[in-house]
């Protein structure tokens, strides 16, 4: 009887060893907006059930099983997953920040990012990179706003209230009304917006067709 119990004990240890060998420690880093570390973000392993928070530099270490899946959960970011292969011991994850004023405040308040200045600067830089994907300023306007039509340097804003025969919106660049924006490099754009109706009244009768507001990066002001 004792011999049988001993054999069963040895057998159970042999069976358990491969199971234990399937777990491993996976290290990684989480960042957003190209190089901004994300702190206090939950990283959870689906199979092992482990969950950890990233440190102030975005680093983490978590126990995973083979073919595990890491979930990166944060309210202000798009949800991301990372599959852990047999040879994977390090994960580098860039999360997409959902840029709204509320999310910027939440990111600071919850501790995802500790420096508001760096967050705002990174968001602005990210926006500039988006504008660089367009071949012209007019393509950028069409790409960012669905309620416009562009033809021969004229931007027509649907829903604007026109008080004259000319249906083209006016252009305001760095606070100044300009006749043309054709020479503006999209990469030099810091922000782009459209106003119409009541808000555009501050520009007089010209504003009735809508106003294209463009702010350029400070380096060229």
- Over the chain, what is the mean pLDDT? 84
Q: 31 and 64 share a domain?
A: yes
Q: 46 and 111 share a domain?
A: yes
pLDDT digits (tens, 9 = 90+) for 140-181: 999 888 888 898 889 998 765 555 557 889 999 999 999 999
Q: 142 and 200 share a domain?
A: yes
Residue 5 lies in a domain: no
Residue 9 lies in a domain: no
More confident: 11 or 199: 199
pLDDT digits (tens, 9 = 90+) for 73-86: 999 999 999 999 98
153: number of Cβ within 10 Å: 13
Measured distance CA(174)–CA(73) in Å, rounded: 38
Q: State residue 70's pLDDT score.
A: 98
Domain final position from 67, 97, 126? 126
Query: Which range marks the domain in which residue 104 is found?
Result: 22-126
Residue 2 has pLDDT above 70, yes or no: no
Q: 90 and 161 share a domain?
A: no
Q: Say how many domains are in the chain.
A: 2
Domain final position from 105, 126, 147? 126
Residue 6 lies in a domain: no
Closest Cα to residue 188, out of 171, 172, 174, 170?
A: 174
Q: State residue 164's pLDDT score.
A: 52
Q: 109 and 164 share a domain?
A: no
More confident: 79 or 208: 79
Q: 34 and 115 share a domain?
A: yes
Q: State residue 32's pLDDT score.
A: 92
What does residue 123 show for φ and ψ, rounded to 5 degrees? Answer: -65, -45
């Amino acid at each position: 009887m004792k011999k049988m119990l001993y054999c069963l004990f040895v057998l159970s240890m042999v069976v358990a060893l491969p199971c234990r060998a399937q777990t491993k420690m996976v290290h990684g880093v989480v960042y957003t907006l190209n190089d901004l570390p994300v702190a206090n973000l939950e990283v959870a392993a689906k199979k092992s059930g482990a969950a950890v928070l990233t440190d102030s530099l975005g680093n983490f270490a978590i126990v995973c099983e083979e073919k595990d899946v890491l979930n990166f959960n944060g309210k202000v970011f798009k949800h991301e997953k990372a599959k852990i292969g047999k040879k994977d011991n390090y994960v580098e994850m860039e999360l997409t920040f959902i840029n709204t004023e509320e999310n910027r405040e939440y990111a600071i308040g919850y501790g995802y990012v500790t420096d508001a200045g760096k967050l705002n600067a990174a968001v602005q830089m990210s926006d500039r990179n988006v504008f660089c994907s367009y071949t012209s300023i007019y393509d950028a306007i069409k790409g960012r706003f669905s309620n416009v039509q562009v033809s021969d340097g004229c931007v027509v804003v649907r829903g604007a209230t026109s008080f004259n025969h000319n249906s083209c919106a006016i252009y305001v660049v760095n606070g100044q009304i300009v006749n043309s924006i054709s020479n503006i490099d999209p990469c030099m754009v810091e922000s782009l917006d459209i106003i119409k109706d009541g808000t555009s009244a501050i520009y007089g009768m010209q504003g009735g067709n809508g106003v294209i507001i463009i702010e350029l990066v400070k380096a060229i002001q």
